[in-house]
Amino acid sequence: MGAAAKHDDGESADAVLLAAAAAGDERAFADLVRRYERRFYAVARRMLGDDGEAEDAVQTALLQIHRHAPAYRPQWSGSTWLYRILTNVCIDLWRKRRRRDGLADAPELRAAGPRDAERIDVDRALAKLPAEARAILLLCYVEELSYREVARVRGVTVNTVKTQLARAKRALRRHLSEVNR
Amino acid sequence: MISREDDSRLRATLDPPAPAPGFAERVLRAVRERRRAGAAALAFDVAASDRGIAGLRPGSGRVEAATRRARALAKRVRAELAEYLEGLRSYFTVPLDLSTTASFQRSVLDVAATIPFGEVRSYRWIAEAIGKPGAVRAVGTALGRNPVPIVVPCHRVLRSDGGLGGYAFGLDLKERLLALEHETPALVGSDATRIICRHGCGDEQRIAVHHRVVFASLSEARASGYRACRRCLEGRSSPSSPFFRNLAKAL
């Protein structure tokens, strides 16, 4: 409850912007994009492990958000609705890529400099988690949404969020310690 | 079991790099242009029956549909068309009603419908596929009267000598549709040479299976440090803002 109250101002702003965008207000849509730019990029980048794919995902998600804005109903919180679309796009892209490449950990092909090494370790470890668990983990830890919000975004129960999260964290620690050895 | 301190460390580990400067503007521009290209779908005239889509053509957005189901199908084809033009879709799921077409034309359209997104075939190839290798010209005529262009991709049929052939709605549109599909290629590369090719390039055949990587777009491949093959990709770019702008204009 506390978390919901904390986000109240932002939430109503999102809803207003979404309604305006649905009515064809391009400036409102642009404002919405700028508001969510960093947060969307963060999730997409960590979900997909690659800059170019993250940009594609954000682009596609925004296209869908714009298309479906008229269907947005204020009983949903704005950010919940936006995150749901983004995470669905990311999971979809991820599955398509896996089918296509047969590669679970594509990011390791892209090691650039030693400075990137740690980052790539995280991407590699993340790539080993199931897409749904990864989405939940990122929504909790990168976006800092509450369990309740994450549950609504992914359409699951709070208990599922907690178990997925615990599992994801355990797996992530194991993978990271393997990589660092 | 999991301490708070642990959590903040995890948070710091997961914190991704910031987006490149200009990220929002770039994404916004791309979204705007893709939408403009998709909006052209609203200007297509659609005819539908209970069985499927019977007609589709650039026009003024009229709908010919007698029943509720037909109207729903017309709405669906327009939505799919918009997604296709926005670069969000590479195939159509809406059923077609080709019952009014003659049997020869029907067989031509059925074969044309099997040409995959991003690929092209010749008029001759279709004539041979329907078992009438001498009927190349008739194939061209049948395709020219395609009642459901784009959904049945007659724009993917070219002359054997590489010429564009014809298109009922103008060669300009044909070229742009081909470009739309051409610029969203499935790319194959090698992580040994860091070169990417279009699927089907001679050089692609030499990539060992364990070095094979696949990308959806050239920009994505470039961002990962790959360069384009000189033989099949030189000078080409991935779907860009000017590209979608031109597509919107042509429609």
Within 8 A of B2 by CB-CB distance, chain A residues are 166, 169
Query: How many angstroms separate the CA atoms of A103 and B226, rounded?
Result: 17
Q: How confident is the model at residue B5 (pLDDT cuts 50, 70, 90)?
A: low
Q: Which residue has the tokens 């950990």?
A: A105
Q: Report the relative pairing of strands B157-158 and B121-122 from DSSP bridges.
A: parallel
Output B175 or A108, whichever has higher pLDDT.
B175
Residues linked to residue B55 through DSSP beta bridges, in sequence order: B47
Instruction: Identify the sign of the CA torsion A10, A11, A17, A21.
Output: positive
pLDDT tens, residue by residue, B191-239:
788 888 765 566 766 776 667 666 656 666 776 778 888 776 664 444 4
CATH class of B103-182: mainly alpha
pLDDT tens, residue by residue, B133-169:
999 999 999 999 999 999 999 999 988 776 777 787 7
pLDDT tens, residue by residue, A112-171:
444 455 556 788 888 888 888 999 999 998 888 999 999 999 988 999 999 999 999 998
**Which of B11, B19, B216 is nearest residue A41 as measured by Cβ atoms?**
B19
pLDDT tens, residue by residue, B16-26:
778 888 888 88
pLDDT tens, residue by residue, B6-43:
677 788 878 877 888 888 888 888 888 888 888 888 88
Q: What percent of chain A has pLDDT over 90?
A: 28
Query: What number is the ipTM of this complex?
Result: 0.71
What are residue B87's phi and psi, to 5 degrees?
Answer: 80, 20
**Which of B14, B32, B216 is nearest residue A141 as measured by Cβ atoms?**
B14
Number of domains in chain A: 1
Q: Is B117 helix (H, G, I), strand (E, B) or coil?
A: coil
Q: Report the relative pairing of strands B195-198 and B227-228 from DSSP bridges.
A: parallel
Question: A88: exposed, middle or buried (C-beta count within 10 Å: 0-12, 13-18, 19+)?
Answer: middle
Q: Which residue has the tokens 């242009």?
A: B33
Is residue B187 within 8 A of residue B217, CB to CB? The reply is yes
Chain A interface, Cβ < 8 Å to B: 26, 30, 33-34, 37-38, 41-42, 45-46, 50-53, 55-56, 58-60, 62-63, 66, 97, 100-101, 103, 106, 109-110, 112, 119, 122, 126, 137-138, 141-142, 144, 166, 169, 172, 176
CATH of the domain at A99: 1.20.140.160
Question: B234: exposed, middle or buried (C-beta count within 10 Å: 0-12, 13-18, 19+)?
Answer: exposed
> Structure tokens of B68?
């509720």
